[in-house]
Structures are given as C-alpha cells and as structure tokens.
Chain A
Amino acid sequence: MMLKRLLAFTAWIVLALSFAGTANAQAKPKDWDALVAAAEKEGQLSIAGPPGDTYRSALIGWFQKKFPKIRVEYNGASGRDQVPRLARERQSGVFNWDIYIGGPTSPLGALKPIGAFDPLPPELILPEATDNAKWHDGFRSGFMDVEEKLYYAFDGTTSDVLYVNADIVAPSEIKAYKDLADSKWAGKIVWEDPRQEGSGLNSALLYKLTYGEAFIRKLLAEQKIIFTRDRRQLTEWIVRGRYPLAVSLPSDQLKIFLEKGIGKNVKQVEDAHFIQSINPGFGAFGILNRRPHPNAAKLYANLLLSVEGQTSWAKQSGGRNSRRSDVPIGDPEAALKPGIKYIQSQTEKMVAQRQLMAKISREVIPQ
C-alpha cells in the first residue's frame, strides 16, 4: 500500500515535472540554455544599426542589461554611410558585423545582391518570436525581401501623411488628403524632401498610389511646397504655424515638442479613403552571413522579436510601434488597427516604385 502510494506520488511528481517541462519548452526551446551559454562564451555582439541615441538605447539597452557578459558593439549610422561601408568591407574580406538593423531600402539594394544576408527562419528558434497570432497580419507579412526570408520589418508604425496646425487651419477646411491640391494651400505646405529616400518620399508614393501619377506630379510642381531635409525644422515650423500643413511629419520629432507641452495643436488629418500603409522606418533587420558571433546573433535575433525586445522598441524608440500586438503602443495615432490590411511600402517589390517616385520628384520639383 505504502509502496503503491509512494509510486503514485512519484508518478504524480514525474507527471507534474514533465508538465512543467513541456510548459517550459513552450517558452524556451530545449537548447536555449546552450545557446545562451555559447553566446556568453563569444562575449560580444556587433550590430550595425540606425543612428541616434534613442534607437541605440531602444535596440540594445535591454539586451545589455540582460546579458552583461555579452558586450554589444553598436555602430549607429544612416544607411547611406553604413551600407556602402559594409559592402566594401565584405569585398575586402572584413566580416565585422553580426546583425544589420535599419530601413530596408539600402540593405536590400546593396547588401542583398552581394549575398550578405543569411536566411532568418532557421535562426528563429524561440516559438514566441514567430508566433503568427501575435504579429499583425501574421509573422510572414514582415518580410521585406521577395523571397520572404532575409530581411524582416518588426516595426508597425502607420504612415502619418498629413498634419495640420489646428490653430490656423480649421479641421473642416481640409477633410481629404486630396484637398492639398487646392490652390489656397499653395506655399503653406512643408514636406520632407521626396527626392531622397525617407518618409517624404514614402508620402509622395502613397499619394501616387492613391490618386495616380498625374495628381502627385501636379501637386509637387505647382503647390509651392517648402521642401526641407531637416526633420526637426519641419516639425518646428508646423508647431509654430509658420507653415500650417505638413506632409511626412516625423512623429518622433513631434513627440519631443509634445513632451515639453507644445504642439498639441498639431493634428493628423484622418482620411479613410487614403491608402493605409506601414512605414517601418529603421525598424527592420537581417542577419549577416560569415558573422563573427553566430550564437550571440542568434540569441539577439530571437529576443529582438520577442515581447521583451519589441516592448523596448515600442517604449524607447521615441514614438514607434511594433507589429506585435502584445506589446505597448508607442504612438497611438500611428498604431495598427486590427483587421485592416496595410500595404508595406518599403518591401523589395516596392523598390522600383520608390525609385520611380524619387525620379519623378527630381523632375517636377521646380529648381
């Protein structure tokens, strides 16, 4: 009897333990600890990431705290500086970087063709990271390359196209995005320069996709738009009301003003008829091949896509959102709404379209 009871108890314990084991396995795969150990043994992780102190802390702050044994080399620079450099380094046999993080256009244009990226899916072993239910429109919709395996956008910030300064322009005066073409707004619009890659080009492309090429050509050519490359200047101008309308207003910049208690008068124009899109900004990444720290890179890639990594992105990147639905929202106005199908305007498929839009901009903007 005693033995029976003991056996039963043991069985119960074993069962309980094995359940616990399965539950654990669901959170972390069985070789996870080995991965952590191997990564810590490598002791370093080298990331070529976006510029700016906010992105730097959003992308690596949490990881460094979690794994103090792994030193994170983070080199922040824009794609213009980073990509030609990486391409040339690889050509000379220098393989210094594990992970590239940044807007998709430059790396897809110059790093993918030289075979710099390894496929992501084999590296992603953490179930939580690739859980379809937790990612808007499913996990796969974040892939930016045609093959859907090399470059992944985790950012889920919608494109905020048109803003008004409500102190000067009443919301009733401008209801639809196409109202921008009204001649009464001539000389009153500021727009991030669409002749180069960036959100100004993105907005122009969305206008083109919604209203057609003739519309955007006319708009850029005739509305006496003020084009600037200085995002902070653009934001200050609409906040001060110097130009009451702003296309491609950077929400992270507006947030700086809002933090100090000004800029509340700047409102997004809502127009359901305008194309809905995600603009991932710098929030996309790929794993480079021949990387010096493969285990640390694998560990980071998995955790970046986990709740922990994405929470940090949403909370600390200064107004960006994640495509994950189970993390906080960084910018409510630019949050993804469930059920809506957004187009990804920065995928490799869109590259030709973007380049065409930039070319049109260079042609029609009066010089």
Chain B
Amino acid sequence: MSNVSVGIHSRGGLFRGRVGAETFWCSLVLAVVGFFVLYPIVLIVVNSFQVAKPGMPPLYGLEGWRAVLAEPGLRRAVYNTFSLMIVRQLISFPFAIFIAWLLARTDLPGKSLLEFMFWLSFFLPSLSVTLGWILILDPDYGIANQIWKALTGAAHGPFSIYSFWGIVWAHIGHNTTAVKVMLLTPAFRNMDASLEEASEVAGSSTLGTLVRILIPIMTPIFTVILLIAIINGFQAFEIEMILGAPINFHVYSTKVYQLVQQEPPAFGPATALSTAVLLILLPLIAVQRKLTARRQYTTITGRYRAKAIPLGNWKNPALAFVTLIALLISVAPMAFVLMGTFMSLFGFFDIPHAWTTDNWKRVFDDPIFMLSLKNTLLMSLGAAALAVSLFSIIAYISVRTKFVWRSALDFISWFPSAMPGILMGIGLLWLFLDIPLFRALYGSVWLLIIATVISSITLGTQLIKANLLQLGQELEEASRTTGASWLTTFRRIVGPLLFPVLLLVGVLGFIHAARDISNVALLATSSSRTLALLQLDFMVSGRYESAAVVATIVMLLTTGVALIARFLGLRVGIRA
C-alpha cells in the first residue's frame, strides 16, 4: 500500500499537477481500507439476522436478537462491564498521566529505563501474569494471605483475587496503566516547553501547569486513549474469564464467548450482541471526533523549544513513586513469569523436584517450534511494517488533506476494535474465502499479516493521528515551499518528527501479531502456524508452564524489537 503512494507522488515531478490527483489517491485508500474493514463487519451484522441451521439455505429473521435479549444475566453482564471499565480508568488514568509527565517533561533520573519498564509490563503475557497474581492473592493459599495469617493469627487473609477488585487489580497491575504510560509519554515529550514557561510566568505552579495547560492541550490523545480504553473494556476477556467465572461474574465479552462456545455455536445472538455494542460505540466515536475537531492542538510548532522541568526537592519522592509502580507492574510479574517457566507445577513449591528445565525442553523439542518461531517473526515484522505505513497514510489523509471523505476514513478505522476478536476473525475468514484473489494466498503468512493489521488498525491509526495533530502544519509547508515534494516532505520532515510514535506503532503491531490467536486460529495452516498457536496447544494440554515458556519467548522477541526500536528512536526525532 505504501508502495502505491510512493509511485504516485514521485511521478508528481510533472510540471503541473492536475487538481484531482489527491482526491483520486485518497479515494483509493478509502476504498481499500473500507473494503477490508467493512466487508467482514457487514457480513457479521447481516449474520445476526441469519437463523438457518448450518448447511441449510440462509434464512433471515430476528431470532438472534430476540435470543440475546432473553439471554439470562445479560443486563448484569453489561452492568459489570461498565463498572469494571469506569473503576479501572478512574484509577489508572491519573496515575498514567502523572507518570508519563514525570517521564517526559522532568529531570527524573533514569527515566529512559523506567519508561522501558512500562513497555516491558505491556509485553508480559496476560495469562502468566494473572496466574502469578493468583499465586499471591488467592484467598486460601495466596502467599500474601499466608503471610497475613502468620503475622496476625487470623483465620482468613484479607485479599481475594477472585473478586471485582481482584479483576480490577489484575488489569491495572498489568496492561491498563502500562499501555497508557506507553502511549502518553511520547505525546508529552512532543510538547513545546514555551507552553509550560508561559504558564509558569503567569504564576502557575508546576503541578498547576500540568493540570491547567498540558492536560487540556493534550485532549486529542487523551480522548483517543480513553475511547480505546472503553472499547478494550468491552473486549477484555482473558482476566475476566479466569477470575470472574468462578465467582459467577460475567461481562459482555465473556457472554459473547459463551454464545460462540455453545453447540451449535450461537453466532446469530453473538453477532447481534456485538452489533448492539458497535451501535453503542458509534456515538462515542462521533463525540470523540467532535471534541478534537473543534480546537487547535498544535504543540510542536516551528519555534519549538525543549526543556526539562527541574523537580528540585521532589526528585527523590518522585523517583521512588515511579520506581515502586514500575516494580509492581513490571518486575514483580516478570519474576512470576520467569519463575513459572522453571517450575514443575506453577505455584507448588513443596513437591519433590519443584524446579526443572523440562518446560523449556518440551518447547524446544517440539517439532513445530522452529517453524512457529520463524512464522511468528516473519508475520510480526511484516505486520509491523504494514501497520506503520498503512496507518500513517490513513492518519495523514484524515488530518492533513481536504479529502471530502476523510472523516469517513477515520471513522471506519474505529470499527475493527469494536468487534470481538472471535467474530472479526470469522468475518475476515469469509472475506478471504470469498475473494478469488485472496483464495490464492489462503493459508499463507501474508493473509495473517493483513488480518492482524486490520484488527489492530484502530489504536495505530488513532495514535499517529493524535500525534500528527500536535505537529504544526507549517513544518510541512515550509518544506514544500523550499522545493520538496509531498513524498520528500513525508520522508524528511513528517516521518522523523513522528518517528517515536511510528516506532511505538510498529512495536504494537509486532506484539499484536505475535500474540494474535483469534485470526491465526482461523486462517493458519500447519505451515503458517505461529508461536501463539503453539502456546494455545500447551494451554489446551494443561501444560501451563510450557505455555508460559512460549509466551516468554514471544515477550523476549518483542523486547528485542522494542530495544532496537528505542535505540533507533534516540538517533532520530526531536533534538533537545
């Protein structure tokens, strides 16, 4: 896709460009993206009215919708979804903003390392981390409760991971905070120091500046992250499943899963439920767009100045605070994960031969390990590259051009994340099987790349978009007037200025592809299987320890990619 536009714009070397060229290429991008996103989703929505049994000719009706409304416990599940979501965001958002600000704007010592610890936290495999927290916080045998009992002599410890607050903690202690810090730090870093200086000259304290100037000016990125958090709140699933099911605590996503797991799978009601959620999310997306369209949010202007705020006496407390949180959400869980890979049975310390390397051996000895590793690398790197180029084109069109349908393009980029992964995977399967062009590639790594990129389109596109909104347009115009073509400008000016966020999007694309199960399970064949499926294999066999080994390998791969990315990021980008 990126290649296509390369072709166009370099041909713009003609003396006179026709007025319609921009519209043509933008329309082409819209058509391609729209097709890949809407085709599966329209099929999913249509399917919600499909009531025929498998193998029978299609029959349409409202049964699926009726079944959803009659689904026991649905209202409770929706309520649970919202309360979890709200509580999680209320806790994690202020923390994340504060930490990101400390990391990006102040002279906090070791901030580069600390920031990377939050990245690591995001790379950690969900399941292993959750099992780790169970080991510590289980109401009966959890280590924290054992210690409490030993200290106080009480019969019961105070903690229970199998609870509403347990689920909240498992989320906050894993991804919820980490991902926000990850996304916010580059945005804070791109802020012109003169904005802060102006506020401080006007008599505001440093914290006051954060609250009154920086936060309002970062509205686009905040609303994007908030909306994505809301959407993810609908999709979050693994933790709720492990910790919620035993206490009969259900959420929307576990309901969808439950419907699809029935025999025969209740695709009708599942798709109806997802369609309903999509309809709830659409107005939210529209509101987000309205909020950010109204004002100017440029923070990198042509007279950009960078300066770190001295923390003074607050340096040590701030360092202690960020380090504590980083340890809690990255080092501690990483210790569980690594420990788990070397235990005979995770969490059983008092059995003979509690420690072993068998789990690693089992993985390395698996006949499909090397192939899966190779496929994972190929697919994830491909997905990262495609994600970065496609998402920057989409973001650029929707922010910078006057293309009439630019908001439509932006709007549809939200859709894939509003669909549960299982259903989106099925929709993409249909797409690839229906179009003869793709049938030739069916089962290959290339379709897996396309599928994972489509399903990760929202976060990547919105992230680049929010950062592009921060970038003053005159920086590009200055390049054009000195004689650079659009493409040269993109390569020399926009690209380098967005480099940190492009790397972040690449890393996210990589990990998303490496971890993807719902698409890969439906589209891979034995020759294109990835590590995520190998991990699933071990899970199904109950070999959680070996599954953790595979997850650790995926994490190490991602960490390696991220380290290279960060190293590169230090050479390009704004010079302070």
Give A residues with C-beta under 8 Å from B. Answer: 46, 50-56, 72-78, 80-81, 84-85, 87-89, 91-94, 96, 105-106, 109-110, 112-115, 190, 193, 195-197, 226-233, 235-236, 240, 242, 250, 252-253, 256-257, 260-262, 318, 354-355, 358, 362-363, 365-367
Contacts and interface: CB of A to CB of B under 8 A. Distances in A.
B526 A74 contact: yes
A113 B53 contact: yes
A233 B344 CA distance: 16
Interface in B505-540: 521-522, 524-527, 529, 533-534, 536-538, 540
A256 B542 contact: yes
Contact of B242 (A92, A96, A230, A242): A230
B20 interface: no
A256 B345 contact: yes
A354 B430 contact: no
Contact of A106 (B258, B263, B543): B263
Q: Which 5 A-B pairs have the closest CB atoms?
A: A367-B73, A113-B55, A197-B263, A110-B54, A92-B433
A109 B258 CA distance: 18
Contacts of A76: 533, 537
Contacts of B194: none
B152 interface: no
B245 A228 contact: yes
A88 B430 contact: yes
A226 B246 contact: yes
A109 B265 CA distance: 10
Nearest to A196: B261
26 contacts: A53-B362, A53-B543, A56-B368, A75-B524, A80-B261, A88-B429, A92-B433, A94-B439, A96-B443, A96-B525, A110-B264, A113-B53, A196-B262, A197-B263, A226-B246, A233-B246, A240-B141, A250-B542, A260-B348, A262-B348, A262-B351, A354-B263, A355-B263, A362-B72, A363-B72, A367-B248
A253 B542 contact: yes
A241 to B, nearest CB: 9
Contact of A193 (B53, B245, B362, B526): B245
Given A51-B536, A81-B521, 7 more contacts: A73-B525, A75-B525, A77-B533, A197-B263, A242-B140, A260-B351, A262-B348
Nearest to A49: B526
A93 B438 CA distance: 13
B423 to A, nearest CB: 11
Contacts of A87: 54-55
Nearest to B254: A229
A109 B351 contact: no
Interface in B57-84: 72-73, 76-77
B352 interface: yes
A296 B540 CA distance: 28
B116 interface: no
B180 interface: no
A197 B433 contact: no
| Highest count of chain B CB atoms <10 Å: which of A51, A250, A318 | A51
A80 B429 contact: no
Interface residues of B, number: 60
A202 to B, nearest CB: 11
Nearest to B352: A261
A252 B541 contact: yes
B57 to A, nearest CB: 11
A28 B543 CA distance: 39
B172 interface: no
Contacts of A257: 345
A75 B526 contact: yes
Contacts of B56: 113
Contacts of B353: 260-261
B525 A84 contact: no
Interface string B149-193: 000000000000000000000000000000000000000000000
A260 B263 contact: no
B474 interface: no
Given A75-B526, A261-B352, A318 B541 contact: yes
Contacts of A85: 429, 522
A22 B54 CA distance: 48
Nearest to B343: A260
Contact of B55 (A92, A114, A196, A358): A114
Contact of B260 (A80, A94, A96, A228): A80
Nearest to A74: B526
Contacts of A73: 525-527
A195 B262 contact: yes
A85 B362 CA distance: 30
Contacts of A252: 541-542
A110 to B, nearest CB: 4
B420 to A, nearest CB: 13
Contacts of A256: 345, 542-543
Interface string B228-249: 0000000000000110011010
A235 B344 CA distance: 15
A358 B537 contact: no
A11 to B, nearest CB: 52
B477 interface: no
Contact of A260 (B55, B345, B366, B429): B345
A280 B54 CA distance: 23
A53 B351 CA distance: 25
Interface in B425-463: 426, 429-430, 433-434, 439, 442-443
Contacts of B439: 92-94
Interface string B348-381: 1001110000000010001010000000000000
Contact of B262 (A53, A72, A358): A358
